[in-house]
């Protein structure tokens, strides 16, 4: 399959990169490819589905090599870092050239570590700008769930009464992890609450929260998981994650995934104890001074 609107074309490798600003169009063209690796592609898949359900400006790139789709990248919101699927080095560098034409002020790139390293290295070369490794994460997939014992409290679905607290905790999560702040946290939490995709661990009051994305291609992604500082070291994050995992498995997910910052050994240890197994490492690069 060949696409129109080509932004990057490496004749010697037959690599073609096409851009669209329509999430539904991107999913229609690349959905079958993305579904071949639903764990590694989950982040891109869920963002595409979310943008279709809740439209927001974005840019989407599809990479084809010898007429076969081999990669997808997106930037939405258009002030955020680009997110890329795993792809070969030559494909990542061709993608970097196409993105540089459409979004020269891109603040950075996030995805599988080898892919983003190739993308960022080529970006530094063609844009003449510094690139800096920023945040490393590990992608986990559930093996066999092990629910922790002896943690007081219970999980419940968050309600509109939890809105203000959830907004505050969402801000805390993004500050702690270095993730870009939500553009409109109030609206973000309203959607989560309306779609019942946020759960609270309650022990004589809210103690922690765990959210999740809609299940796509059989895989559900958990996050954010957050415990405010005054309630930490009581097992609430582990209990929340386990409860959400069980909830998703009970509601037709074939598997669950989540990301953990490599700089946080505590969260990584918690997820491994719950039965999550490492799949891959991701690395985010920041562009510019």
pLDDT one-digit tens code per residue, 28-42: 999 999 999 999 999
- Residue 3: predicted pLDDT: 36
Annotate 184-216 with b (16+ C-beta within 10 A) or e (fewer): ebeebbeebbeeebbbbbbeeebbbbbbbbebb
How many whole angstroms separate alpha carbon 226 and alpha carbon 17? Answer: 38
- What is the pLDDT at residue 13? 55
pTM of the predicted structure, to 2 decimals: 0.92
Query: Is residue 242 over pLDDT 90?
Result: yes
Average pLDDT score over residue span 225-242: 97
Secondary structure (3-state) at 179: coil
Share of the chain above pLDDT 70, in %: 96
Residue 1 pLDDT exceeds 50: no
* Mean pLDDT on 50-54: 95
Average pLDDT over residues 106-126: 98
* Three state DSSP letters for 192-248: HHHCCCEEEEECCCEEEEEEECCCECCEEEEEEEECCHHHCCCCHHHHHHHHHHHHH
| pLDDT-based confidence at residue 5 (cuts at 50, 70, 90) | very low
Specify which residues 281 forms β-bridges with: 138
pLDDT in the model for residue 182: 78
> Can you state the percent helix, strand and coil of the chain, rounding each to 5?
40, 30, 30
> How many Å apart are CA 79 and CA 108, to the nearest integer?
10
In 3-state terms, what secondary structure has residue 186? helix
Give yes or no for a contact between 266 and 235, defined as CB atoms under 8 angstroms apart.
no
- The pLDDT tens digits for 272-287 are 999 999 999 999 999 9
Taking phi over 0 as left and psi of -120 to 50 as alpha, with beta for the rest, 204 belongs to left
pLDDT digits (tens, 9 = 90+) for 153-209: 999 999 999 999 999 999 999 898 877 777 899 999 999 999 999 999 999 999 999
pLDDT at 179: 78
pLDDT at 7: 46
Q: What pLDDT does 14 receive?
A: 87
Domains for the chain: give ranges and CATH numbers: 6-129 (3.40.630), 142-280 (3.40.630.30)
Q: Residue 2 has what pLDDT?
A: 35
Give the model's pLDDT for residue 289: 82
Confidence of residue 12 (pLDDT cuts 50, 70, 90): low
The whole-number average pLDDT for the span 44-50 is 97
């Amino acid at each position: 399959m060949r696409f129109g609107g080509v932004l990057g074309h490496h004749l010697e490798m037959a690599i073609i990169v096409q851009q669209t600003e329509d999430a539904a169009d991107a999913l229609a063209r690349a959905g079958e490819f993305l579904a071949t690796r639903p764990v590694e592609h989950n982040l891109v898949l869920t963002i595409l589905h979310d943008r279709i359900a809740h439209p927001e400006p974005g840019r989407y790139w599809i990479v084809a090599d010898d007429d076969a789709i081999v990669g997808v990248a997106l930037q939405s919101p258009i002030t955020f870092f680009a997110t890329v699927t795993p792809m070969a080095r030559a494909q990542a560098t061709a993608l970097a050239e196409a993105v540089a034409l459409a979004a020269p002020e891109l603040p950075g790139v996030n995805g599988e570590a080898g892919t983003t390293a190739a993308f960022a290295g080529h970006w530094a070369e063609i844009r003449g700008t510094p690139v800096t490794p920023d945040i490393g994460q590990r992608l986990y997939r559930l093996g066999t769930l092990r629910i922790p014992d002896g943690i007081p409290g219970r999980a419940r679905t968050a309600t509109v009464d939890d809105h203000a607290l959830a907004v505050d905790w969402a801000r805390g999560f993004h500050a702690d992890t270095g993730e870009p702040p939500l553009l409109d946290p109030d609206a973000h939490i309203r959607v989560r609450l309306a779609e019942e995709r946020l759960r609270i661990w309650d022990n004589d009051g809210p103690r922690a929260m765990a959210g999740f994305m809609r299940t796509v291609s059989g895989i559900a992604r958990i996050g954010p998981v957050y415990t405010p500082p005054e309630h930490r070291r009581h097992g609430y994050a582990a209990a929340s994650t386990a409860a959400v995992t069980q909830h998703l498995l009970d509601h037709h997910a074939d598997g669950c995934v989540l990301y953990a910052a490599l700089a946080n050994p505590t969260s990584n240890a918690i997820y491994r104890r719950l039965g999550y197994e490492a799949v891959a490492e991701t690395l985010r690069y920041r562009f510019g001074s």
